[in-house]
Amino acid sequence: MRLRCIVTAGPTCEPLDHVRRLTNFSTGKLGSKLAAYLASQGHDVVLLRGEAATYSLPVEGVTAETFFSTGDLEAAFVRHAKTGADAVFHAAAVSDFKFGRVFDGTPEDGLTEIHSGKFSTRTGRLFAELVPTPKILPQLRSLFPKACIVGWKYEVDGGREGVLAKARQQLADGNTDACVANGPAFGEGFGIILPDGSMRPTTAEKLPEDLAALAKERAVR
């Protein structure tokens, strides 16, 4: 069965001014390797990869597009929803915050909002708001109502049970088909958490194969 798949990879970036940005350490490697595996199995694959991804090798047989900000990625999903997808693997590391207003001064003496294409370091300390970015994953079910949708939950603090609880909450909130859990808090390997609360343990090497199988299971239901 040939599936049309959308895979996201790498980080989003949120500009502070025209020369500085807020981003994260995502390399884009996992999503790129997943896209490559899906293409090698004969599926049609669109890879949405962050411009700041350090793992940016060409992926054979994949239609690659780049995005910069959370808004760019959101717009790309809306655009691709017009042609639909059988599976969406949302592995990109989307920033939880973007910059809002920037202020000069101090909280004690008063803050003045300032604007600049490049904020000068000569003004001393600056204060910048961090405001939440739109949550993309909960939008995907309405954009791709029949697709197998997989999200990610990467956590640094806490333990495995805490990660699993957050992954199960993500499944409920986003009406998705699976959540891949990993990170220091999860520990070794990966876990594919399903809507019934069960977990399928896997490894980085086997993860693409397992996710492809999951998408096929969902497609034949």
The pLDDT, as a whole number, for residue 114 is 92
3-state secondary structure of 153: strand
Would you list the domain boundaries of the chain? 4-95+136-219, 98-131
Predicted TM-score (pTM) above 0.85:
yes
The residue behind tokens 């708001």 is 129
* Residue 17 predicted with pLDDT over 70: yes
Phi, psi of 44 (to 5 degrees): -85, 125
How many C-beta atoms lie closer than 10 Å to residue 125's C-beta? 9
4-95+136-219 domain in CATH 3.40.190.10? Answer: no
pLDDT, one tens digit per residue, over 178-198 is 999 999 999 999 999 999 999
3-state secondary structure 43-93: CEEEEEEECCCCCCCCCCCEEEEEECCHHHHHHHHHHHCCCCCCEEEECCE
pLDDT, one tens digit per residue, over 93-120 is 999 999 999 999 888 888 999 999 999 8
The residue behind tokens 């492809």 is 212
Angle at 127 between CA 121 and CA 128, to 5 degrees: 105
Say if CB 167 and CB 160 are below 8 A apart: no
